[in-house]
């Protein structure tokens, strides 16, 4: 299994500003995302990832997000095992995010 690349919250913000073609997926629970999400992130709870990936393109770039970076790393590893080749993890999760939030 290939190593999952980690990007910093600042790198994610820069990707958004450049309008890079990627999808951010927040894998936190419902009660966590009400405290704010990264703008334009898609919310798919970690437990729902196995069912949700059938609707995701394997050609797309994904950046996985959670509170601290651990659950999102698990999600990224799972997606990689299922054939997704361009999955990254946001290092430090929302604890490190200092950018804009959407509610």
pTM of the shown model: 0.96
Residue 55's contacts (CB-CB under 8 Å, 6 or more residues apart) are none
Domain extent listing, the chain: 5-96
Angle at 70 between CA 13 and CA 58, to 5 degrees: 65
The rounded average pLDDT for each run of 10 residues, N- to C-terminus, in the chain (103 residues) is 91 96 98 96 98 96 98 97 97 96 94
Residue 96's contacts (CB-CB under 8 Å, 6 or more residues apart) are 8, 9, 69, 90
Residues forming the active site: 66
What number does CATH give the domain 5-96?
3.40.250.10
Question: What's the length of the chain?
Answer: 103
């Amino acid at each position: 299994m290939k190593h999952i690349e980690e990007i910093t919250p600042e790198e994610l913000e820069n990707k958004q500003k450049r309008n890079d073609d990627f999808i951010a997926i927040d894998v936190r629970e419902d009660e966590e995302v009400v405290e704010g999400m990264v703008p334009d992130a898609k919310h798919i709870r970690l437990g729902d990832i196995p069912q949700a990936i059938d609707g995701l393109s394997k050609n797309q770039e994904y950046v996985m997000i959670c509170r601290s970076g651990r659950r999102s790393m698990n999600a990224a590893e799972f997606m990689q095992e299922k054939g997704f080749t361009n999955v990254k993890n946001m290092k430090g999760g929302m604890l490190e995010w200092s950018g804009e939030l959407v509610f």
